[in-house]
Amino acid sequence: MEFLEILKVILLGIVEGITEWLPISSTGHMLLVDEIFPLKLREEFKEMFLVVIQLGAILAVVVMFWKKLFPFALKKEEVIAENESELKTVKTKLTADMGILNLWGKVLVACVPAAIIGILFDDWLEAKLHNSLVISLMLILYGVAFILIEQRNKNKELPIQTTDGITYKHALIIGAFQILSLIPGTSRSGATIIGALLIGVSRPAGAEFTFFLAIPVMVGASGIKLLKFFMESGGFTGPELGYLLIGAAVAFIVSMLAIKFLMNFVKKHDFKVFGWYRIVLGAVVIGALVIPSFF
């Protein structure tokens, strides 16, 4: 393993950990970082790395929301003896929380639209749309969308304040918006949060549902990328496995901080600041692409 490549991997892990959960496009930011500080590794490994590194970010969601996500728990039940001479016993059994199972049902429904389109068009999207111009245009487009939607919702009391209020119909609509995130620069969390805001879901509830939705989506996407990588290249070298583990570990640690920040931020603020950030970054990238052509 080379020290300079380790530093690049750590940088990509930091970028992934921050941008995966903020609505500013993790894929777009990592592709831009890789253009500035390109990894000197096999191209097929790099393509896989930029997706599978997200597993570190996903682990952060699982750890932070374990009680809200895991539907089974051990519960104790006291059984009183029929006569006083016998001691009462305590039985412990595994019980399911139907509310959590219902939440997982909605999450899986929301995954369907993007899963179908992603499986069918993954290679085409990667070949045609993974470039700086598309990323910058999507950054600007959805930055404007965030500002307009937040302006529309200003001083409104949105009817759906918790994830429990999200119905299967709402979940399917949010999932349809997730299709937009297949275009780099859009942001998976950004697209789903926009969809949630448009149908009346509050910022905290929309952000939380987006976190949950990311688990099957990103695990599935990572699984597909890993399968393709093994089929096409035969597997990891020792250093490549080390780079992947370092990147995922950094993404996990940074994601823990980013998720806490976002959940606290959206309780008091809207998403306009992220909209303006997207517009400025998109404009800077376009400027960097266009200005050199005049010289």
* 257 vs 67: CA distance, rounded Å: 19
In this prediction the pTM is 0.84
Does residue 88 fall inside a structural domain? no
Does residue 90 fall inside a structural domain? no
Range of the domain at 131: 3-68+97-294
Count of domains in the chain? 1
DSSP string, 82-148: SSTTSPPEEEEEEEE-HHHHHHHHHHHHHHHHHHHHHHHHHHHHHHHH-SHHHHHHHHHHHHHHHHH
Does residue 270 fall inside a structural domain? yes
Does residue 180 fall inside a structural domain? yes
Return the H-helix or E-strand segment holding 74: strand 72-79
What does the pLDDT read at residue 79? 54
Least confident of 73-77, 83-87, 116-120: 83-87
Q: For residue range 229-286, list pLDDT tens digits in order.
A: 998 888 889 999 999 999 999 999 999 999 999 999 998 899 999 999 999 999 998 9
Does residue 87 fall inside a structural domain? no
What does the pLDDT read at residue 55? 93
Q: For residue range 198-239, list pLDDT tens digits in order.
A: 999 999 999 999 999 999 988 988 998 899 899 888 888 999
Does residue 122 fall inside a structural domain? yes
Query: How far is C-alpha 70 from the geometric centre of its chain's CA atoms?
Result: 19
Does residue 215 fall inside a structural domain? yes
Does residue 223 fall inside a structural domain? yes
